[in-house]
Amino acid sequence: MPQSPPSKSQITTPTLPHFELPVKTERPPKNTEQEDIFRKVKILDQSLRNMQGLGGQVSVDYKDLCLFPNVQLLVRFKMPMFDLYDGHGDPVTHLRGFCSKMRGASRNDELLMAYFSQSLSGATLEWYTRLDNNRWYTWDYLAQDFARHFQYNVEIVPDRLSLTKIEKKPNESFREYGFRWREQAARVNPPMEEDEIVEYFLQALEPTYFGHLISAISKSFNEVVKIGEMVGDKLKSSKIMSHSAIKATTQAI
């Protein structure tokens, strides 16, 4: 039998899913003042971290470590090898040597001041890095400070009499002693002639060495040192008696 069509009441309309459009929310306008404060807080925090890393003594930030961060090298400038100054000797002599080797800097004050530390070592380098470089407006200010601080090396110089009081140390080889003594002799003013240097060196020797080297008074300083080395070797091997041993033997007799 043919089926009758469904009535309107039997027809159902499918329910479609309901979607709601998202409500647009306006972002608050940027507060540049707050951002600036936040940035400064981060910088301050990083600075505190740097200080805490070394016990709160010093910052390790690049801008604080580099004394002259804005110095630009000249085109084709090649840094020379410097003689290091460790606090001994005439500071003006060192300044002359440094400036002579920095001829390529073309009297660039900032470049001279930036590279001066490369010619220092030990206590002098520590002196340089501890001072506030803002006090040095030009190279001349730095050079004057340096020469004034280490001027004592020129003012307190050995004389001929003080050379005779420089003794050989117990753990020092004769060559080391001779080199140390000769360094001081080179500072005497007026300069000493070669024969005078040998004469005062022999006077500084202990009796054992003096007795074996007095015959070398007409030789050069280098030759005297070589003979002294041989005497020292023989003393160690007991092939010759020291002055104290000879004196003790004489007293026993």
Sequence ranges of the chain with CATH classification 1.10.1200: 160-252
pTM for this model (two decimals)? 0.46
For range 2-22, the mean pLDDT: 55
pLDDT at 241: 55
Q: Which residues have CB under 8 Å from 3's CB, separation 6+?
A: none
The answer to whether 195 and 215 have CB atoms below 8 angstroms apart is no
Which segment of 54-63, 148-157, 223-232 scores lowest on mean pLDDT?
Answer: 54-63
Of residues 70 and 12, which shows the higher confidence score?
Answer: 70
- What pLDDT band is residue 225 in, cutting at 50, 70 and 90? very high
Of residues 23 and 194, which shows the higher confidence score?
Answer: 194
H-only helix segments in 169-242: 174-185, 194-204, 207-213, 221-236
Write down how long the chain is: 253
CATH architecture of 160-252: Orthogonal Bundle (1.10)
pLDDT at 14: 56
Of 173, 228, 164, the C-alpha closest to 192 is 164
On the question of a cis peptide bond just before residue 190, with omega within 30 degrees of 0, the verdict is: yes
What SS3 state is found at 120? strand
Which segment of 38-52, 111-125, 161-175 scores lowest on mean pLDDT?
Answer: 38-52
3-state helix, strand, coil in the chain (%, to 5): 55, 0, 45
